[in-house]
Amino acid sequence: MEFIQYMIQNKEQILSLVTEHIELTAIAVGCSILVGVPLGILISYVKNLNKPVLGVANVVQAIPSMALLGLSIPLLGIGTLPAVVMVIIYSLLPIIKNTFTGINSISPEMVEAAKGIGLTKAQVLFKVKIPLALPIIMAGVRISAVTAVGLMTMAAFIGAGGLGYLVFSGIRTVNNAQILAGAIPSCILALLVDYLTGLIEKLVTPISLQQGYEGSKEQLKRKRRRQKGVLVLVGILVAAIMGNSIIGSFKGDDKRIAIGSKDFTEQLVLCNLYADVIEDKTDIKVDRRENLGGSEVCYEAQDKGEIDMYVEYTGTAYMNILKEESTNDMDKVYNTLKKYFKEKNNFEVLDQTKFNNTYTLAVTKETAKKYNLNKISDLRGVGSQLSIGSTLEFLNRADGIPGLCETYGFKFKNETGIDGSPRYTALENKKVDVVDAFATDGLLKKFKLKVLEDDKKYFPPYYAVPVIREDTLKKYPELEKVINELSSALTNEAMMEMNYEVDELGKEPREAAHDYLVEQGIIEK
């Protein structure tokens, strides 16, 4: 029931994401065919290339998709291009292999007969080999197309859109309805693609070779005409979707900027807060590039000009980007960041917000009572009995678990990397005893957790600060005042409440941001 309600309430967004998913998949599969089929033909003629090409394709298949996507970001940036390239690479093997197999399976006698009637090598290829190999080639395309639909959900990690946005947003917020809203349409789309490519496979198979059909050849011909009609309609629909996207890209507004965000709830809320204010207070339109991953991804995207602005945290940038030692001097951190970004990247660091989303550790109230835990130093005597579930970033970064344990003088029994909201679920299910958290995390309120005081002031300040390209600010100087005014209104309490509305009450980040701005009288309805 909750799932159906979510689908009804968010039908426009879901439809838009389905359209994006179709578009991205169609581009990727189309490019895979254009690359894979010629490669398959090439290695069928040049035997020495057979093993190297198929070997490389097999090795690529063994690389985890997330790893390949991460490796592509420094080279290709964010958005559609790296997502499409990743899916193309993964889709090549079945097409290459089936094309090679199909060409090689043709009987030598038939090829000799074709040569005997005077056909050239090119004519033999295009009039004999390819038509006869088409059923096998299409079987490879069919496998690749279905695989591409599933793989394209990864596109959401780098701001390319698609149904993966709902899946990963739902995982972060422990929202099963949202997960299903992304997963079920993706499954349906995969089944539809399988059906349509299956039709094409049947249509390219000569009637004389059709098996398992008991009707007459005339009936089969009528059936094939209906199948062709279905494919034509689908082709027109896909062409319309892609055409609309291309036309939309050329329409672009002169006064337009792109705001990026990292891949967790608060960042999505912040992206929409600043976007809404800018669009309300100025005539500038905002492209919202959400779910771009961690700091490094956003930083690289802005440095390359793919986004104009994102919200960073002072402590994160100070240690992860500047590689400085941890410090609690808030002014030093801010001023150092401001100078570094200005000189190295031509970024402007605007006024920092009033909320400090610093790291903390959290436990259930039951665990806190059992071990008498109120502050982090209380873990010194019992840490060896407890397991921590932390984000992968916190598990490895300088200001994460290694430095924390050294400062407070204890070690955890086990350290398990669990990204996003699943670590809260693991805590609730007693799979871990402690989790890392952010001070403004709405899930702290949702799960009614005990936050341990950082009594040695280990964690540096993590005040949110808007970082914007200098050339963007020069082009639109009115942005500085608008952005700084909003920053001054964002407090710990306000951010936790908005995060809670998303994580527990099921609001979309855009809705939570908009409602807050209206309630505070910052924008009009």
Domain ranges of the chain: 2-246, 256-356+462-519, 359-452
90-136, pLDDT tens digit by residue?
A: 888 899 999 998 888 888 888 888 888 888 888 888 888 888 888 88
DSSP assignments along 461-485, one per residue = P-BEEEEEEHHHHHH-THHHHHHHH
Q: CA-CA distance, 139 to 37, in Å (whole number)?
A: 12
124-178, pLDDT tens digit by residue?
A: 888 888 888 888 898 899 999 998 998 888 877 776 778 887 887 777 666 778 8
pLDDT at 309: 94
Would you tell me which CATH number, out of the four given (3.40.50.2300, 3.40.190.10, 3.40.50.720, 3.90.1150.10), belongs to the domain 256-356+462-519? 3.40.190.10
Nearest CA to 144 among 14, 280, 38, 32?
32
Q: Establish whether domains 2-246 and 359-452 are of one fold.
A: no
Nearest CA to 407 among 386, 380, 435, 387?
380
**Six token digits for residue 331:** 């002014």
Query: Would the pLDDT of 250 be above 60?
Result: no
Domain 359-452 has CATH 3.10.129.10: no
Q: CA-CA distance, 142 to 122, in Å (whole number)?
A: 26
Q: CA-CA distance, 363 to 433, in Å (whole number)?
A: 6
Alpha carbon separation from 223 to 129, 208, 229 (Å, rounded): 26, 15, 10
pLDDT at 286: 92
Nearest CA to 99 among 72, 136, 65?
136
Contact criterion met (CB below 8 Å) for 495 and 268: no
- Residue 375: phi, psi to the nearest 5? -135, 165
Q: Which amino acid makes up residue 439? A: A
Q: Which is more confident, 210 or 16? A: 16
- Residue 337: phi, psi to the nearest 5? -60, -45
Burial of 80 from C-beta contacts in 10 A (0-12 / 13-18 / 19+): buried
Which stretch of DSSP H or E encloses residue 258? strand 256-260
pLDDT at 331: 87
pLDDT at 219: 72
Q: CA-CA distance, 387 to 476, in Å (whole number)?
A: 50
What is the pTM for the complete model shown? 0.68
pLDDT at 306: 85
Contacts of residue 383, Cβ cutoff 8 Å, sequence gap at least 6: 405, 410, 411, 412, 413
pLDDT at 372: 93
Query: Mean pLDDT over all residues of the chain?
Result: 85
Q: CA-CA distance, 301 to 79, in Å (whole number)?
A: 10
Q: CA-CA distance, 412 to 333, in Å (whole number)?
A: 30
**Six token digits for residue 137:** 């080639």
Instruction: Kindly give the interhelix angle for 217-251 and 11-45, rounded to the nearest 10 degrees.
Output: 110
- Residues making up the chain, counted from first to last: 525
**% of the chain surpassing 90 pLDDT:** 27
**Six token digits for residue 29:** 């599969």
Contact criterion met (CB below 8 Å) for 467 and 310: yes
Alpha carbon separation from 321 to 77, 110, 390 (Å, rounded): 18, 64, 21
Q: Which of 222-226, 375-379, 420-424 has the highest mean pLDDT?
A: 375-379
386-417, pLDDT tens digit by residue?
A: 999 988 878 877 678 888 888 899 999 989 88
Rounded to an integer, the average pLDDT of 200-223 is: 67
pLDDT at 81: 81
Q: CA-CA distance, 171 to 440, in Å (whole number)?
A: 19
May I ask the CATH architecture of the domain 2-246?
A: Orthogonal Bundle (1.10)
Instruction: Kindly give the interhelix angle for 130-151 and 176-203, rounded to the nearest 10 degrees.
Output: 180
Q: CA-CA distance, 503 to 445, in Å (whole number)?
A: 10
Q: How many helices (H) and strands (E) does the chain have?
A: 24, 10
For the chain, the maximum distance between any two Cα atoms, rounded to a whole number of angstroms, is 92
Nearest CA to 187 among 150, 238, 144?
150
Beta strand 309-313 pairing with 464-469 = antiparallel
